[in-house]
Amino acid sequence: MRIALGVTGCIAAYKAVEVMRGLQKRGATVQVVMSSHATQFVGELTFRSISGLPVITDMWAPTDDPEIKHIQIAQSIDLLLVAPATANCLAKFANGIADDFLSTLYISTTAPVLVAPAMNSEMWLHPATQENVRRLRERGVQFIDPGEGYLACRTVGPGRLAEPDEIVLRASEVLERRQTRVGASGHSFDLIEEHVLITAGPTYEALDPVRGLTNRSSGRMGYALAEASLARGARTTLVSGPVSLDPPSGARVAQVQSAAEMYDAVMNNLQDATIAIMAAAVADYRPAKIAGQKMKKSGERLAIELEPTADILSAVAGKKGSRVVIGFAAETEDVVDNALKKLNDKGADIIVANDVAAANSGFDVSTNQVTLVSTDRVDELPLLSKRAVADRILDAALEVRASRAPATTSPR
């Protein structure tokens, strides 16, 4: 495996050293390409000493090699990884500006490109940056989104570089898919005849005009499923609760708020869906009455009557026919036992169970560790990125399809 590691100029550049070491431990040869600004934060000697290769910092550096260096590297690498990637770097990539070695390498290579942004919160959230991210996603660039935390500018917010272990994990998964792929998606468009219906995110149940009941779901797992489904050729419908994520380009999206709205949207799109994956964290209860005006604080205890919401997974499984139905179970104890009970109670084909109290798993993180529970097997997966988990879930859906006789892709 040969990886070009692009390092751009921000304080997080020092973490690229850990990323490089992690990639080397997985057997990769790492060619480091630094922007001129990156050298102000980390010296090239550090990378050269660890990688064992010359570090490229200058497009016009004299060399005895007769090859055109950026073309040579562009054609030989299996992955271009940029970590950290600044707002300036993203702007160059998105607009085709090739004025240094890294941006020229990007525009020259046909290898997968994986980018881990890092910057101030305002820079990350600026419309120009978000538009550049959208453009790059549409062109197939993959992102390891920044996390939230304490930043170098002494503020707290989104923009913090993802942890080196996470970056190494994602890079390894991209390489694995590249090495085993048959078609562009790594799974040969094996869902091209499917219509995959996915729910994602939380629901919001209003108490009054300003307050409501919700949960911590970020929607990342459901959105990763939609991204993977599209990459494998499926027509994809995403029913999303309120999240701060951009849906993948090409998905048909229904934005909803409450569990009732999600139920209606799912049922309206269920008829020709061949695979239904209910990944949303839907509220089990809602206020029996919604106050017309803001409830004032009185200093006394307040009792709120709740009523159950419609069970979307049970409703979908009740209309299963030949379609594959997959549900999720977010648990904090007895994960497999509770998932088995849910599997039997709801009538789904598979329950994806995870311990949301475990580190790096569950809500609002980019990784997940799940167990796929069906009537005849329990498959415990290792800690993976949510995109990799999404592909495993889709693989499991196709296994269910293949186990049925006769096989069919059309729901009855």
Question: Under the phi-then-psi rule, with left for phi > 0, alpha for psi from -120 to 50, and beta for the rest, what region is 140?
Answer: left
Cβ-proximal residues to 8 (8 Å cutoff; 6+ apart), any chain: 34, 35, 37, 38, 82, 84, 85, 86, 88, 89, 102
Cβ-proximal residues to 32 (8 Å cutoff; 6+ apart), any chain: 4, 5, 7, 16, 20, 44, 47, 48, 51, 53, 55, 56
φ and ψ at residue 79, rounded to 5 degrees? -160, 135
The three-class DSSP label of residue 339 is helix
Active site residue 10: no
Paired strand residues for 372:
352, 379
Cβ-proximal residues to 294 (8 Å cutoff; 6+ apart), any chain: 208, 209, 210, 211
In 3D space, the residue among 22, 43, 138, 37 whose CA is nearest the CA of residue 84 turns out to be 37
328 vs 272: CA distance, rounded Å: 22
Cβ-proximal residues to 247 (8 Å cutoff; 6+ apart), any chain: 223, 226, 238, 240, 253
The three-class DSSP label of residue 197 is strand
Distances (CA, A) of 121 to 160, 216, 230, 333: 8, 21, 30, 36
H helices, E strands: number in the chain: 13, 21
Q: What angle do CA 78, 84, 85 make, to 5 degrees?
A: 85
Cβ-proximal residues to 334 (8 Å cutoff; 6+ apart), any chain: none
Of 91, 97, 107, 153, the catalytic one is 153
Q: What angle do CA 284, 206, 347 make, to 5 degrees?
A: 20
Q: What residues are labeled active site?
A: 153
